[in-house]
A and B are shown apart, each in its own frame.
Chain A
């Protein structure tokens, strides 16, 4: 048995356990170890997880209800309140903000004018009780931070006095939710249509591909305009939300379906599939044991890469007024506010959600790219 003896001998030269770990690593583990080595992807993943969690825990992290109930009528279009530690009145460990008073008088020509009162400080408090909210089915009142008197607006307020900071975080949640539903619907459709197309080939494939191409060529904006016109205003914002998600899913499946089909067509001709067929394996066995696992990694990558497109689509639609509308919190809706010249010139803090939006999309893209690079070289190096 010289062969095994030699294997033992060369193994002894290196760290035995490390080698063994490589040899026994399944596909998922190999991909993860490759993914870990990419800095951009890991940072993207961290940012992504952070944003998703902050979207999920938004009611806790933000001090006020982002709807009309939480608005600050006294502080509309107000600039961001940055907490300070120090001013001419002295240093303070606890961060504070100034009080803003709105007055109207003959001197101001009867226009509302906001004045800063530097003497009256409002201190930032942690874990105050605030507006009630529901999280995971339970009701809470505690928020992460607030001020002892009045309200604090880290990102300022919009035209109706709603806190932009609170709205931003809630909107991440909304956009992600719409994106998730859209991606899921697209994915299920893509799996079924692309799967049948790729597995059976022949006429089935040709017909299904024609349908796929037809759907793909449908121009999105006119379609949405038509559907938006059909959705009656009486539909609640949640209802509108679901309809938009479903529509996005129905538009998004062709690209995914094509990818699924390509993966299947390649995998179907792999020799190990033929080997299984020559054992008399049923189609079900081949699909379950060989084909599905083979492209799970690709599909996960495709899903993650599709996500930002869904979010972008929803944002774009809401931005032009065809998607979600006020008072729903979504990034697209918030961006709608920015279109007014008044806002552009005077109330630039309305742009802050844009930064979040860019970060979110970039994070998705980096993670998706990193995963794709990690999953791709799984086809073994040939000698």
Chain B
């Protein structure tokens, strides 16, 4: 088995705020293999964006990584300890070099007063030895590859002249022009119309095949995950509650939260089934529940409520590669 492209071990991240230290990510571990699409699912406050930004050391100044957190990037021959990279020169490899990122709001990601072409060329010239002319050619080629019509003309246009879907494609083009190994996509389709979303997802799947690239796909939309991801990791309030292949997690979810999420979705094949929401609201990160972080909203844990309130469940293995952090699952008492 090939070694994973990137390994995250025991990542714990806190933010220094006026109200004290707020834990955003708690003891998260996962791997991404080369060429694999890992879906990171969670709702607001789950810590998925923060986790992703940690891979590129993009978190705010007031972030504190706990001792023992480790992120390792394996490129060809070398292993890079991401969290120890301090100087901007060293960090270049994780910021646009081997790892690239695309965001939810493409309008906010492009500088409004510089043409798209100039931004793409700038990115290429920072990360490689190309001349401006070479960078321009590569950029236009990428624009064509992502399906933007009239790429030469578009190269000289500004972000506001593009429509939403086009901007997202341009951002993908820009992110991919440096041929990264890992693409982090932070809610890339959430702001798009569903027909445009379908196009962009199609594009990303093609690119994965062509470039043999891995994607960390962050979203709250389980349908998108089901169609694009190979493996899924579910996060809740900063903890990783379940990981497994996409079939395992979606067809036989092991964690009550995952089950709750799946149950609350309207299903097109059974329109009369009632929607069962997960009860309650996500606790504020200032009030992290004791023991199992989900116990305050879990409807299945009544029998062992004591345990869930006091003990943090360790990840247990439920079938090959299917990990879940739940006392119920550990006991084998699945409903």
CB-contact partner of A13 in B18, B280, B281, B287, under 8 A: B287
CB-contact partner of B280 in A2, A14, A383, under 8 A: A2
Report the Cα distance A2→B297, complex, angstroms. Answer: 9
Q: Which residues of chain B have C-beta atoms less than 8 A from A383's C-beta?
A: 44-45
Closest-by-CB residue of A relative to B290 is A13
In chain B between 271 and 292, which residues have their CB closer than 8 angstroms to a CB of chain A?
A: 279-281, 283-284, 286-287, 289-290
**Does residue B296 face the partner (Cβ distance < 8 Å to A)?**
yes
Q: Which residues of chain B have C-beta atoms less than 8 A from A37's C-beta?
A: 18
Q: Which residues of chain B have C-beta atoms less than 8 A from A13's C-beta?
A: 287, 289-290
Q: Which residues of chain B have C-beta atoms less than 8 A from A138's C-beta?
A: none
Q: Are B289 and A10 in contact (CB under 8 A)?
A: yes
CB-contact partner of A10 in B18, B45, B279, B283, under 8 A: B283
Q: Are B280 and A6 in contact (CB under 8 A)?
A: yes
Report the Cα distance A205→B44, complex, angstroms. Answer: 41
Report the Cα distance A325→B63, complex, angstroms. Answer: 57
Q: Are A10 and B44 in contact (CB under 8 A)?
A: no
Q: Are A9 and B44 in contact (CB under 8 A)?
A: no
Q: Are B289 and A14 in contact (CB under 8 A)?
A: no
**Does residue A3 face the partner (Cβ distance < 8 Å to B)?**
yes
Q: Are B286 and A6 in contact (CB under 8 A)?
A: no
Closest-by-CB residue of A relative to B284 is A10
- Chain A 3-30 interface mask (CB, 8 Å, partner B; 1/0): 1001101100110000000000000000
Closest-by-CB residue of A relative to B279 is A2
With contacts A383-B44, A383-B45 taken as known, whether A6 is within 8 angstroms of B289 at the C-beta atoms is no
Q: How large is the interface on A (under 10, 10 to 19, 20 to 34, 35 or more residues)?
A: 10 to 19
Q: Are A3 and B279 in contact (CB under 8 A)?
A: yes
Closest-by-CB residue of A relative to B44 is A383
> From residue A330, how far is it (CB to closest CB) to chain B in Å?
41
Q: Are A14 and B44 in contact (CB under 8 A)?
A: no
Q: Which residues of chain A have C-beta atoms less than 8 A from B45's C-beta?
A: 383
Q: Are A3 and B18 in contact (CB under 8 A)?
A: no
> From residue A22, how far is it (CB to closest CB) to chain B in Å?
10
Report the Cα distance A273→B289, complex, angstroms. Answer: 38
Q: Which residues of chain B have C-beta atoms less than 8 A from A7's C-beta?
A: 280-281
Q: Chain B: how many interface residues by the 8 Å CB criterion?
A: 14
> From residue A15, how far is it (CB to closest CB) to chain B in Å?
10
> From residue A376, how far is it (CB to closest CB) to chain B in Å?
15
Report the Cα distance A383→B283, complex, angstroms. Answer: 13
Report the Cα distance A6→B279, complex, angstroms. Answer: 8
Q: Are A3 and B289 in contact (CB under 8 A)?
A: no
> From residue A70, how far is it (CB to closest CB) to chain B in Å?
51
In chain A between 306 and 353, which residues have their CB closer than 8 angstroms to a CB of chain B?
A: none
Closest-by-CB residue of A relative to B286 is A14
Q: Are B281 and A9 in contact (CB under 8 A)?
A: no
- Chain A 35-61 interface mask (CB, 8 Å, partner B; 1/0): 001000000000000000000000000
Closest-by-CB residue of B relative to A9 is B296
Q: Which residues of chain A have C-beta atoms less than 8 A from B44's C-beta?
A: 383
Closest-by-CB residue of B relative to A14 is B287
CB-contact partner of A6 in B18, B284, B296, under 8 A: B296
Q: Which residues of chain B have C-beta atoms less than 8 A from A14's C-beta?
A: 286-287
Q: Are A3 and B280 in contact (CB under 8 A)?
A: yes
Report the Cα distance A166→B309, complex, angstroms. Answer: 70
Q: Which residues of chain A have C-beta atoms less than 8 A from B284's C-beta?
A: 10
- Chain B 294-312 interface mask (CB, 8 Å, partner A; 1/0): 0011000000000000000
Report the Cα distance A9→B295, complex, angstroms. Answer: 11
> From residue B286, how far is it (CB to closest CB) to chain A in Å?
7
Closest-by-CB residue of A relative to B18 is A37
- Chain B 124-168 interface mask (CB, 8 Å, partner A; 1/0): 000000000000000000000000000000000000000000000
Q: Which residues of chain A have C-beta atoms less than 8 A from B289's C-beta?
A: 10, 13
Q: Which residues of chain A have C-beta atoms less than 8 A from B18's C-beta?
A: 37
Closest-by-CB residue of B relative to A2 is B279
Report the Cα distance A356→B279, complex, angstroms. Answer: 61
Report the Cα distance A37→B280, complex, angstroms. Answer: 33
Q: Which residues of chain A have C-beta atoms less than 8 A from B290's C-beta?
A: 13
Q: Are B286 and A10 in contact (CB under 8 A)?
A: no
Report the Cα distance A13→B284, complex, angstroms. Answer: 11
Q: Which residues of chain A have C-beta atoms less than 8 A from B279's C-beta?
A: 2-3, 6
- Chain B 7-33 interface mask (CB, 8 Å, partner A; 1/0): 000000000001000000000000000
- Chain B 26-69 interface mask (CB, 8 Å, partner A; 1/0): 00000000000000000011000000000000000000000000
Residues of B within 8 A of A (CB): 18, 44-45, 279-281, 283-284, 286-287, 289-290, 296-297
Q: Besides A6-B296, A10-B280, 8 other CB < 8 A contacts?
A: A6-B280, A6-B297, A7-B280, A7-B281, A10-B284, A10-B296, A37-B18, A383-B45
Listed by A's residue number, 12 A-B pairs whose Cβ atoms lie within 8 Å are A2-B280, A3-B281, A6-B280, A6-B297, A9-B296, A10-B280, A10-B284, A13-B287, A13-B289, A14-B286, A14-B287, A37-B18
Q: Which 4 A-B pairs have the closest CB atoms?
A: A6-B280, A383-B44, A2-B279, A10-B283
